Each structure stands twice: as C-alpha cells, then as structure tokens.
C-alpha cells in the first residue's frame, strides 16, 4: 500500500526523502510526492503521477528550490480518486498545513460536506484531503499542532497512518497511526518517521514502533508520544537487525529473482534454533506454547492471498499428521461473518507483512467473539500489528521480501507450519520419536533440495516461451498439490497478467474440462504420492482434449511423456511435508520467466501493492 517517509534533520532533507521513497516504492506506486518546509517557512511541494522516478525527474528541474530541514513524502496506491498529480499526497490546506496519509477515511463524505460549508476548497478526489482541512480548522481553537491533530483523529472513522507538518510549527512533525503502521527512526542528525523501517535504514537502526492510537510530536532533539487516551507514554527504542544490503538487488535483475534464489538460505534461517538434531523446539512458538498446544482441539487459520495458500497446505498436514481438525479461510470473508469455534481453538494468522488489514481485523473479530481464544501469528515481520495482537508468535526469518509476488515468505511459512504440525502431533502423541526425527531430517534437507529444483531453471525458461500468446492457463494438483497449484496460478496471474485458475484434478470433469483446448495450457504437479495414479488418469482426460501440458514430477512419478506434453523432473521422491515446498519452486520460476517474456514490471505488477493495509 502507500508509503510514508518524513523527518526533521540538520541536513537538507530532500535527498533523504527521495531515498526513502525509492525504498518504499514496492508498497504502492501509482504516484508520489513530497513537501519541504523552506528556510523562510514556506511549504514547497512537488508531485508526480507514476513511478518515483517521475518525481525525481521533476525535482531535477526545480532542484535549487526544494531545500529545507523538515519534510514529508509519500508513495500512493490509489483507493479514493484515480492515480493523478492532483490526487497524489502530500495535501495542503490554506498554504500552511501539509499532510500525508495511508489508510482509508470512511466518513470522509460527511466531513467534506461540513468543510465545504466552512469554506474549504477541495483540490483532489481523495478521502485524505478532509484530514488536512480538519487540522487547519482545529488549529483555530488549539494551541499546538499536536492538540489540533489529537482533536481531529477523534473524528475520523477508518484507518490511518498520518504525518503532518505546518509552517506555523516549523520545528516539528506530528505522526499518528490507527490500523496502519508507523515507525519513528532516531538518527544522529535528525528524527524521522516512516510507514516501514526499510525507508529509514540508511539513516538509522534505532526505531520506536508506534502502537495503535499513538500520536507523536517529533522534534530535532525530542520525541514525545501520547496514547489514544492522550496520556504521555514511553515506547521502547529497538535496534533493527535489518541490513541495507538485504533490500538491494545485489546484482540480480529483479527482487523476485533474488528472493526465489534466496529460499535455501531463508529456510536455513527459519529453521535455525527451531530444530535440534532429532526434534522440534516447541518453545520457538512462545514460552507457553507447550502447555497451549496440548489443549488444542481445533485449529482455525486465517490469511490472505499467498499466505492463505500456505494455510491450505497446513490443513492437510494438521489433519493427517497431528489429527487435529483445521479450518482455513480468507480473512476478508472471515471478518464479516459470525464464525463459530470450539473452546480450545488455536487461531492462527499467517502474514508476511503482519499488517494485512483484513487479517488483522479477522483476528480482532475472533477475539471479540471469544476473548479467551489463543492466537498464534506466523509472520515475517518482528514488529507488526499482528505480532502485537497475538498470544504466540513465530517469525519466519525469510529476510525482507521486496518483490510484490511473495516467494520466500511462502516457503518459509510452510516450514513454520510444518514445525507447528510436528509440535502439536508430538504433544498429542500422534507422531512418535522416530516420526518426529524423520520430519526434522526432511526439513534439514530442504535447502539442498531447493537448490536442485532451482537447477531446472533453464528448462523452465524454455517452457515459458509457450505462454507468450496465451490468455489463460489451468493448474492441476491433488491433495496439498492443489494448494500449490493455487499458488502457481496466483503467481502467474499477478506478474504476467495471464488469467490462470487452479483446480483439484479430480474436479476437472465437473465443469472446467469444457475450457480445455490447444490454447489452454495445463500445468500439473505430479509427485509420487498416494494420489499419483488418480492424477495420471486426469492427465489422460486433459490430453485427449488437445491441451498443451507441462508436468512437474519427481524421479519416481514416471509420468509418461506424450505428444504436446513436457515432463520435467524436479526432485527426488519426497515426503508429504517436503513435497509441497519443493514443487512450489518450478511454479515460481515459470511465472517469473513468463513475466519476463511478457515484459511486465515483475517486482511491481500493475494495481498491486506489497502490504495491503486497507481493506
């Protein structure tokens, strides 16, 4: 979603803001802008539609004018109002207050009606503009920018991460959040604010993570924070372990490519100190995990997109291995129904970012229904709304994922879920010591197996050429491979814009087989498991309808090549935990290479954003 970066420093802030914007671009990028307070206290603003590069080009033309020590910048992902210069942030009221906003203001129409009566002129179609005018109005009866902003946020319905600056208060920036993340960075030459610590990593590794409802007054030498009840509060300063190199391309063409090839290491890091020679380390899920897992009677998993697919795989594992019933649901549906769950339900959220608005709200919904529910969050972000809201946390240690299409976050989520399944199974005696050791050994072999699967890239690259003129593709799998097929279809559609669907192979004859002809490539995942025979029959059905097929198999699957069918051996014969993780790799590579052929923006596909912090 949108990104915010701002600060107050002893240096010229413009280059720092531009650097931050580039690091935030992966979050949302249909337009961008910045505002600087000049030495003579004037607000200087520049905005551009499209990429941050367009803003940079505009700034080159006006370089001498945009200098100052205080400023705010924003990358926008349009919600209200189309992507355009006039809708880009920062917004300004009465030439004296400027504001950037992430989130959605739901009552903006009624606020706008009121403000129009008060004489405010609107220059954009955004919901955001009402906030800046409201602060201007509130300042008339407040003796500080902080107090005016405190007044205004109490009138807002919806979600926000906001940065405000005013020419009347040139020594400060106000930052506040509700439902949208904000972090304060403490540097040697200044203090900063951003929606994501990555924007500030070149300036500092010291961060304060604002909590829900917090509002901060950020000055050069002082940061003051109040909670949602206006009480003065202290929030801890944390040192980030993220390194700037982790968010650079390091010689790769794309972040997605880099992240696909980082998976062996990401999995090693995720496993580190979570397994011993023969067993899983259950306290890796939290101090109380052992006691909690023993009492579990059911697992409810809630997530979105790729993370949801990881949940679907886990359902098969949990019921098969740990013998615990499991439901999996997309968060945007879960949050708006009246779900029922048994006492003893473990509520698991899966989220790379830990900030996905629907997943956060789904967890809140569950807690409202039953306040004693035990929640576990599996996430790749140490400081996030979900980790703060959850009783137990497991960090995936995949490292920053910048490419919008999730890759290493998915496979490390699967690793985390396999540890969860093994932990619950062990505590419920559904697996014995020998079986536990077998799972742990299998997990330890994963990085090597992924490296082997990655070696198939040249072959997969050749196959990608077949998709150049295709408009649709069908992915087939059975069991956990159905979830992996869904993930493969999502990857293909989001970065190559080819319509793709996944079906459980057995469901084909109940409808989708009608679609199959030579223009509909079919990709099947065929490990040698107990469903292989059935899958092979399904492949025959497809074959006789003239489809071009690609089959990813393991060395024992022995799918017979036929005309118009390419069979690629990805791996050795695998266990039920390793197989879905390994068979994800060729699908990631396929979508990456199809996208390259189609010439799309691989890391920043159109209309998408990395961290979906609005519903």
Q: Which is nearer to ligand F6R, 404 or 505 (CB)?
A: 404
We find the least distance from the C-beta atom of residue 23 to ligand F6R, in angstroms, to be 17
d(CA 213, CA 228): 4
Tell me if residue 222 is catalytic.
no
Instruction: Give how many residues touch ligand F6R by CB under 6 A.
Output: 15
CA 307 to chain CA centroid, nearest Å:
9
Over the window 474 to 503, marking each residue x when it contacts ligand F6R by CB under 6 A and - when it does not, the resulting string is ----------------x---x---------
Residue 117: burial class (beta carbons within 10 Å; 0-12, 13-18, 19+):
exposed
We find the least distance from the C-beta atom of residue 221 to ligand F6R, in angstroms, to be 36
For ligand F6R, the binding residues in 376-435 under the rule CB under 6 A are: 405-406
Hey, how many other C-beta atoms are within 10 angstroms of the C-beta on 597?
14
We find the least distance from the C-beta atom of residue 413 to ligand F6R, in angstroms, to be 8
Instruction: Pick the binder of ligand F6R from 150, 167, 307, 547 (CB under 6 A).
Output: 307
For ligand F6R, the binding residues in 346-375 under the rule CB under 6 A are: 351-353, 356, 359
Tell me if residue 277 is catalytic.
no
Buried-exposed string 469-499: b where 16+ CB fall within 10 A, e elsewhere? ebeebbbbbbbbbbbbbbbbbbbbbbbbbbe
We find the least distance from the C-beta atom of residue 447 to ligand F6R, in angstroms, to be 22
d(CA 52, CA 50): 7
Instruction: Pick the binder of ligand F6R from 69, 75, 270, 306 (CB under 6 A).
Output: 306
304 part of the interface to ligand F6R, by CB under 6 A:
yes
Contact region with ligand F6R (CB under 6 A), list: 8-16, 256-264, 299-307, 535-543 = 299-307
What's the farthest any 2 CA atoms get from each other in the chain? 79
The residue at minimum Cβ distance from ligand F6R is 305
* Residues forming a β-bridge with 500: 473
Which element (helix H / strand E) includes 114?
helix 108-117
Over the window 257 to 296, marking each residue x when it contacts ligand F6R by CB under 6 A and - when it does not, the resulting string is ----------------------------------------
We find the least distance from the C-beta atom of residue 611 to ligand F6R, in angstroms, to be 6
CB 89 within 8 A of CB 49: no
548 part of the interface to ligand F6R, by CB under 6 A:
no
For ligand F6R, the binding residues in 592-611 under the rule CB under 6 A are: 611
Instruction: Pick the binder of ligand F6R from 20, 264, 305, 521 (CB under 6 A).
Output: 305
505 part of the interface to ligand F6R, by CB under 6 A:
no
Q: Which is nearer to ligand F6R, 129 or 401 (CB)?
A: 401
d(CA 262, CA 102): 30
* Those residues with Cβ within 8 angstroms of residue 497's Cβ, 6 or more apart along the chain or in another chain: 598, 600, 605, 606
We find the least distance from the C-beta atom of residue 415 to ligand F6R, in angstroms, to be 15
Helix axes 129-139, 145-153, angle to 10 degrees: 130
Buried-exposed string 145-155: b where 16+ CB fall within 10 A, e elsewhere? bbbbbbbbbee
Name the DSSP letter for residue 6.
Answer: E
Q: Of 51, 112, 178, 610, which one is the catalytic site residue?
A: 610
Computed on alpha carbons and rounded to an integer, the radius of gyration of the chain in Å comes to 25
Q: Of 2, 304, 326, 377, which one is the catalytic site residue?
A: 2
Contact region with ligand F6R (CB under 6 A), list: 84-92, 166-174, 301-309, 595-603 = 301-309
Torsion angles phi and psi, residue 273, rounded to 5: 55, 15
d(CA 531, CA 512): 20
We find the least distance from the C-beta atom of residue 410 to ligand F6R, in angstroms, to be 7
Residues that bind ligand F6R (CB under 6 A): 304-307, 351-353, 356, 359, 405-406, 490, 494, 611-612
Question: Which residue numbers are catalytic?
Answer: 2, 610
């Amino acid at each position: 979603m949108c990104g915010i970066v701002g600060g107050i420093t002893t240096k010229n802030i413009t280059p720092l803001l531009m650097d931050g914007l580039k690091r935030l671009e992966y979050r949302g990028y249909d337009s961008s802008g910045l505002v600087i307070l000049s030495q003579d206290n004037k607000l200087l603003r520049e905005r551009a539609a499209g990429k941050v590069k367009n803003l940079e080009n505009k700034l080159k033309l006006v370089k001498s004018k945009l200098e100052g020590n205080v400023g705010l910048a924003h990358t926008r992902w349009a919600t209200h109002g189309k992507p355009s210069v006039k809708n880009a942030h920062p917004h300004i009221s009465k030439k004296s207050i400027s504001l950037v906003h992430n989130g959605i203001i739901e009552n903006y129409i009624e606020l706008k009606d009121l403000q129009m009566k008060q004489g405010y002129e609107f220059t954009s179609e955004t919901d955001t503009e009402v906030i800046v005018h409201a602060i201007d109005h509130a300042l008339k009866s407040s003796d500080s920018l902080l107090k005016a902003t405190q007044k205004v946020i109490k009138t807002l319905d919806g979600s926000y991460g906001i940065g405000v600056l005013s020419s009347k208060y040139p020594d400060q920036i106000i930052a506040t959040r509700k439902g949208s993340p904000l972090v304060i960075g403490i540097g040697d030459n200044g203090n900063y604010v951003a929606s994501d610590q990555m924007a500030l990593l070149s300036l500092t590794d010291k961060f304060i993570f604002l909590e829900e409802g917090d509002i901060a007054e950020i000055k050069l030498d002082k940061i003051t924070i109040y909670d949602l009840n206006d009480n003065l509060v202290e929030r801890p300063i944390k040192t980030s372990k993220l390194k700037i190199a982790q968010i650079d391309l390091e010689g790769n063409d794309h972040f997605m490519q880099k992240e696909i090839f980082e998976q062996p290491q990401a999995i090693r890091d995720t496993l580190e100190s979570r397994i011993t020679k023969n067993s899983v380390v259950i306290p890796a899920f939290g101090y109380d995990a052992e006691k909690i897992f023993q009492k579990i009677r059911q697992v409810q998993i809630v997530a979105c997109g790729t993370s949801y697919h990881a949940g679907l795989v886990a359902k098969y594992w949990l019921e098969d291995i740990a013998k615990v019933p499991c439901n999996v649901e997309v968060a945007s549906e879960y949050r708006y129904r009246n779900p029922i769950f048994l006492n003893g339900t473990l509520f698991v959220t899966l989220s790379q970012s830990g900030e996905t608005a629907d997943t956060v709200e789904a967890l809140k919904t569950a807690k409202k229904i039953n306040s004693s529910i035990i929640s576990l969050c599996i996430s790749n972000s140490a400081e996030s709304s979900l980790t703060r809201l959850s009783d137990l946390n497991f960090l995936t240690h995949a490292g920053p994922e910048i490419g919008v299409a999730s890759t290493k976050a998915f496979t490390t989520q699967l690793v985390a879920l396999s540890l969860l399944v093994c932990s619950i199974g062990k505590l419920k005696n559904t697996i014995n010591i020998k079986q536990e050791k077998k799972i742990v050994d299998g997990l330890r072999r994963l990085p090597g197996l992924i490296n082997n699967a990655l070696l198939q890239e040249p072959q997969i690259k050749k196959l990608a050429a077949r998709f150049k003129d295709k408009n649709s593709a069908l992915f087939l799998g059975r069991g956990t491979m159905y979830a992996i097929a869904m993930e493969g279809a999502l990857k293909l559609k989001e970065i190559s814009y080819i319509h793709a669907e996944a079906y459980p192979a057995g469901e084909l004859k109940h409808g989708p087989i009608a679609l199959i002809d030579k223009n509909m490539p079919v990709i099947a995942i065929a490990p040698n498991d107990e469903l292989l025979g059935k899958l092979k029959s399904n492949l025959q059905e497809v074959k006789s309808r003239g489809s071009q097929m690609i089959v990813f198999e393991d060395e024992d699957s022995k799918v017979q090549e036929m005309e118009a069918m390419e069979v690629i051996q990805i791996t050795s014969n695998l266990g039920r935990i390793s197989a879905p993780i390994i068979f994800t790799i060729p699908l990631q590579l396929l979508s990456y290479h199809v996208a390259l052929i189609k010439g799309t923006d691989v890391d920043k596909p159109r209309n998408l954003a990395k961290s979906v912090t609005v519903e």
